[in-house]
């Protein structure tokens, strides 16, 4: 642990109250949902969860707002998102405080999360003037074929605790410029951050003269999410969370022919080739594996190192792990904050005992609970484990800072190991050999939605589409043309001739 003492729950409650007040949110009251902080593991505020009737009413309101919003010109819809971006800039520090208090992120990463929201707002404002369709060559004389894009309807956003604000903004900024309305069911672990985001969007809505019900927030646990999932008026369910959750949500939405966009668990790997620049690779690996206390979907969980350099890499990583400052995430010197809960630490310890029973050797850390003075909190050292083979435990996602080290002899073998897991989110290779890098990025290489060279698996920019394959769910959010998931396309055939010409040369002369 770093030398600084942990803040008290009273201090954190006061800091959360101050951040909410600056943003304009009244301190919530209720007793069926609890805002708590992983910094001490203790209760902050009681809140009120949405009932089934609240959920139904929110869908009705969002559906009614959609009927106006869908015909509002897209650049005007962009004005709303522009205003949201301005408010996020103005309250960046307050929002980051809430993210640290509720999700336990170190200050720099919490500020980065809010910056990501600002970035996606900028992207979405530009997008509001670029929702392009195509004109397609028609086989018939005097005809034009066109593809047009239209808003989809109400979008239900279900989000996870570890990106309590950014994931909402990726979905919401894009959905709003696309002409959709949004209902947000955030993680039950991060309600204060979502109250703050919702309030800022409501302010932006008033200032941009947009319908208030383009956005609704529903606090609550999975039961609230399930009600959204089953409501046929929700055109798209964008759900971010565990693969377990996606396995329940995907089939339920499909059963009513709704659309889903699934962003689920990862089990990300990096290959370290003999030519890798280790001065670059080692810090990148430590950030990707231990940053956010191993609680990113893109966290590096498997390191596949060439046998010739494995001992050197392990030695350097072990030394770096031993120096990692763990503790109060508000302390600027801390690099590793707490796990979200003692349950997460129990799961980590369970995984460690299973992998050790399968022959895994712990090289650094140990999964011990630190900060005895805060018994309800879950601070621990990131762990490095050397494993001889990719067992069932290694192939699972444990949402904690455990990095498994495997070795390889040929690139073909490394890629086979890399892809031999159920998940397919993020990946990277550290190499100075261009041929190896290109093979890794080719169709014969990484099977993930994100594949990087000489950079870690985590910390994506918003300009690219974000998402993964296989058990990660197949969804794409954020940049590139991910916006198409939030719209429906129509193909238009326009006959501007005076003749009725049928396609494929079909003749049908009716008098
Ligand atoms: P979780 O699956 O426990 O919960 C995520 C959200 O889904 C919460 O809002 C929860 O209330 C809701 N939910 C759970 N079961 C549901 C159901 N049956 N129907 C409707 N809603 C339901 O996940 P978590 O612990 O909050 O987050 C960690 C997980 O999220 C990890 O697996 C991580 O990899 C994943 N994640 C993925 C991405 C990505 O973009 N791929 C991003 C962040 C987190």
- Name the one residue in this structure whose structure tokens are 């951050």: 193
Instruction: Tell me, yes or no, whether 43 and 127 share the same domain.
Output: yes
Indicate whether 248 belongs to any domain.
yes
Q: 106: helix, coil or strand?
A: coil
Indicate whether 151 and 66 sit together in one domain. Answer: yes
Nearest CA to ligand 1 atom 40: 263
Domain for residue 508, yes or no? no
Give the residue, by CA position, lying nearest to ligand 1 atom 30: 241
Angstrom distances, CA of residue 423 to CA of 13, 251, 355, 457: 38, 18, 19, 14
User: Does the beta carbon of 220 sit less than 6 angstroms from any atom of ligand 1?
Assistant: no
- Residue 505 is assigned to a structural domain of this protein: no
For residues 272 and 234, state if they share a domain: no
Residue 346 Cα to ligand 1 midpoint, Å, equals 18
Residue 113 resides in a domain: yes
Question: Is there an atom of ligand 1 within 6 Å of 230 CB?
Answer: no
Whether residue 451 is found in the same domain as residue 482? no
Biggest alpha carbon distance in the chain?
92
Q: Specify if 442 maps to a domain.
A: yes
- Closest C-alpha to ligand 1, atom 39: 263
- Provide the CATH number for the domain around residue 300: 3.40.309.10
Q: Is 263 a catalytic residue?
A: yes
Using DSSP, state whether 445 is helix, strand or coil: coil
Same-domain check for residues 347 and 453: yes
The single residue of 263, 381, 397, 477 carrying the catalytic annotation is: 263
Centroid of ligand 1 to alpha carbon of 159 (angstroms):
6
Q: What pLDDT, on the 0 to 100 scale, is given for residue 3? A: 57
Are 442 and 411 in contact by the 8 Å Cβ rule? The answer is: no
Ligand 1 atom closest to the Cα of residue 397 is 32
Centre of ligand 1 from the C-alpha of residue 242, in Å: 4
pTM, two decimals, is 0.98
Question: Residue 372's pLDDT is what?
Answer: 84
Strand partners of residue 334: none
Tell me whether residue 497 is in a domain.
no
How many structural domains is the chain composed of? 2
Neighbours of 134 (CB within 10 A): 11
C-beta of residue 54 within 8 angstroms of C-beta of residue 219: no
Is the C-beta atom of 242 inside 6 A of ligand 1?
A: yes
160 lines ligand 1 (CB under 6 A): yes
Cα–ligand 1 centroid distance for 163 (angstroms): 10
d(CA 247, CA 4): 42
- Binding site membership of 265 for ligand 1 (Cβ less than 6 Å): yes
Q: Clarify whether residues 97 and 188 are in a common domain.
A: yes
170 ligand 1 Cβ < 6 A: no
Query: Which CATH number characterizes residue 170's domain?
Result: 3.40.605.10
Residue nearest to atom 32 of ligand 1 (CA): 242
Q: What whole-number distance in Å separates Cα of residue 299 and Cα of residue 436?
A: 23
Which string of DSSP letters, residue by residue, matches 156-190? EEE--SSSTTHHHHHHHHHHHHTT-EEEEE--TT-
> Average pLDDT per run of 10 along the chain, which is 511 residues long?
85 98 91 95 97 98 98 98 98 98 98 98 98 97 98 98 98 98 98 98 98 98 98 98 98 98 98 98 98 98 98 98 97 97 97 97 93 92 97 98 98 98 98 98 98 97 97 97 98 98 93 75
Tell me the residue range of the domain where 347 lies: 268-466
Is 509 contained in some domain?
no
Q: Residue 232 has what pLDDT?
A: 98
Residues 185, 307, single domain; the answer is: no
What is the helix (H) or strand (E) element at residue 216, kind and residue range?
strand 215-217
């Amino acid at each position: 642990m770093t030398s600084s003492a942990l803040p008290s729950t009273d201090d954190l409650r006061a800091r959360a109250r101050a951040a909410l007040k600056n943003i304009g949110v009244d301190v919530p009251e209720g007793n069926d949902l609890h805002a708590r902080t992983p910094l001490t593991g203790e209760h902050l505020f009681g809140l009120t969860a949405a009932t089934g009737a609240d959920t139904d009413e929110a869908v009705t309101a969002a559906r009614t707002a959609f009927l106006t919003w869908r015909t509002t010109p897209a650049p005007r819809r962009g004005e709303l998102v522009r205003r949201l971006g301005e408010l996020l800039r103005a309250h960046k520090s307050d929002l980051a405080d809430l993210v640290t208090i509720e999700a336990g992120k170190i200050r720099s990463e919490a500020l980065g999360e809010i910056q990501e929201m600002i970035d996606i707002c900028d992207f979405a404002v530009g997008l509001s003037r670029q929702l392009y369709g195509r004109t397609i060559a028609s086989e018939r004389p005097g005809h034009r074929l066109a593809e047009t894009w239209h808003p989809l309807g109400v979008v239900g956003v279900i989000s996870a605790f570890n990106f309590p604000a950014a994931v909402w903004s990726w979905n919401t900024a894009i959905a709003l410029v696309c002409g959709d309305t949004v209902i947000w069911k955030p993680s039950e672990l991060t309600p204060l951050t979502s109250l703050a985001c919702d309030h800022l969007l409501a302010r932006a809505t008033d200032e941009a003269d947009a319908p208030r019900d383009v956005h609704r927030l529903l606090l609550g646990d999975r039961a609230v999410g399930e009600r959204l999932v089953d409501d046929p008026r929700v055109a798209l369910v964008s759900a971010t969370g565990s693969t377990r959750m996606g396995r329940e949500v995907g089939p339920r939405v499909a059963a009513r022919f709704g659309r889903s966009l699934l962003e689920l668990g990862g089990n990300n790997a990096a290959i370290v080739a003999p030519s890798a620049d280790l001065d670059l690779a080692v810090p990148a690996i430590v950030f990707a594996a231990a940053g956010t206390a191993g609680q990113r979907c893109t966290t590096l969980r498997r390191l596949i190192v060439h046998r010739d350099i494995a001992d050197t890499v392990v030695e350097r990583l072990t030394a770096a792990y031993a120096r990692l400052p763990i503790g109060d995430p508000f302390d600027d010197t801390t690099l590793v904050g707490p796990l979200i809960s003692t349950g997460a630490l129990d799961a980590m310890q369970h995984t460690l005992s299973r992998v050790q029973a399968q022959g895994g050797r712990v090289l650094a850390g140990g999964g011990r609970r630190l900060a005895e003075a805060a018994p309800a909190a879950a601070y621990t050292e990131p762990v490095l484990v050397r494993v001889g083979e990719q067992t069932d435990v290694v192939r699972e996602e444990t949402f904690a800072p455990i990095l498994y080290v495997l070795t390889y002899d040929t690139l073909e073998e490394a890629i086979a190991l890399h892809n031999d897991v159920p998940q397919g989110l993020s990946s990277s290779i550290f190499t100075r050999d261009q041929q190896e890098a290109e093979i890794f990025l080719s169709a014969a290489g990484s099977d993930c939605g994100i594949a990087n060279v000489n950079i870690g698996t985590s910390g994506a920019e918003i300009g690219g589409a974000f998402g993964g394959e296989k058990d990660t769910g197949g969804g794409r959010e954020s940049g590139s043309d991910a916006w198409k998931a939030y719209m429906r396309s129509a193909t238009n055939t326009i006959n501007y001739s005076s003749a009725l010409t049928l396609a494929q040369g079909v003749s049908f002369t009716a008098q």
